[in-house]
Amino acid sequence: LTRLVGEGWDGPGRNGAELTYSFQAITRKVATENAKSEIVRALDAWSRVARLRFVRKDEAGGSRNINILFGAGAHGDSYPFDGPGRVLAHTFYPAPPNPEPIAGDLHFDEDETWSVGTDVDIFSVALHELGHALGLGHSDVPGAVMYPYYRRVTALTDEDIGAIRMLYAEPEAAPSAPATPLHFTVETPAATFTTSGSSINAEGAATGAVAP
């Protein structure tokens, strides 16, 4: 099972939460936009399975904000990193138990060999650490994203989804789009065209619904 730490950002019960996130410092090992997009992809993975909304802001810090930074050794908190091949990252749980403004902040060890799609994979670590930022502890289920030992992952597992839904409500269903009929106006051949052939080529303009 996956341990829960506190009651999440939404307080008692299973509600929704809106948080901001900011990038204070990004690794030099990967192109900046690639690194950021992998972290945003991890944020999106959590927001697809629970009632969570993440809004980016430019300035670091503040309450209910997940501040993201890459740093080596002593990097501004009380938990200095230990160099390559050991602790990859650490994250502070929501308040409580952690106080603002550090609650939810996510720190990566810049001394690691960060990459995209290979070890050490930014998305895999971000997905795990964001679980902590939302209030999840470690899982004792091998294969779960929240299992305490690093491995490359591509998506949340049923164990992770079940755990986050013990803190937050399920995502709201997207409203279904109203049906729009498809209209096709034939321009070629002309309306008075007749043929005894078994097939003709027709050209025109389509409006309305788009589907195979």
Closest CA to 152 of 194, 129, 122, 180: 122
Angle at 160 between CA 79 and CA 15, to 5 degrees: 90
Catalytic residue among 38, 110, 112, 129: 129
What is the gyration radius of the CA atoms in the chain, in angstroms?
24
Cβ atoms 204, 187 nearer than 8 A: yes
Residue 31: CB atoms within 10 Å: 12
Cβ atoms 78, 38 nearer than 8 A: no
Longest Cα separation, the chain: 85
159 is catalytic: no
Q: What distance in Å separates the CA atoms of residue 16 and residue 53, rounded to the nearest whole number?
A: 8
Beta bridge partners of 66: 21
In this structure, what DSSP letter does residue 133 have? H
- Known catalytic residues are 129
